[in-house]
Amino acid sequence: MELAARELQVGVSNRTETGLLMIDIDHFKKINDSNGHPAGDEVLAQVAGTICQAVRPTDAVGRYGGEEFMVVLPACQLHDVLSVGERVRESIARKPLYAEGYMISTTVSVGCTVSTDGGHFVEMLVKAADQALYKAKYEGRNRTVVKTMTPSILSLKGLKR
């Protein structure tokens, strides 16, 4: 949260937008219940590694709580935030994980937002990204949803190839 606040201030100073992703591992409780908590811990670590590989070197990844991660994207416009969120989602969906002797396939839901002017606080961005994440889960999971700081919401189901 401190890093997000700092990057938002830098964005205000530089007149650039700051993006935020909230990422939640779909059906994580089932992973813990079926495979055990050590396997769940390993899934968390592997998902975190996949997120780090899928974002830009200038982006910051952190565990927000439970099975949720936050990514701060400095100097990032809305279409870039959506692109990064979708790249994260696709990377995790196509990569089976191995933990405690189990092969575990998992997906994530991603909520995205971007600061469009200097009047937004970190809490507002987190709330918007959380609302988008909730919508992604409500719409069936394994998708990326963007909530702008205006009333409109855009939902994107990943393209299947």
Per annotation, catalytic residue among 7, 17, 67, 90: 67
Q: Could you tell me the two tokens for 109?
A: 């839901």
Does the active-site annotation cover 123? no
Q: Could you tell me the two tokens for 4?
A: 């997000």
Using only the alpha carbons of the chain, give its radius of gyration.
15
Beta-bridged to residue 109, according to DSSP, are 24
Give the number of other Cβ atoms within 10 Å of residue 161's Cβ.
Answer: 5
* CA atoms of 74 and 7, how far apart (whole Å): 6
> What does the DSSP assignment read for 49-67?
HHHHHHS-TT-EEEEEETT
User: Is residue 46 helix, strand or coil?
Assistant: helix
Which contiguous run of DSSP H or E holds residue 104?
strand 102-104
Q: Are 85 and 91 in contact (CB under 8 A)?
A: no
Would you name the residues annotated as active-site residues? 67
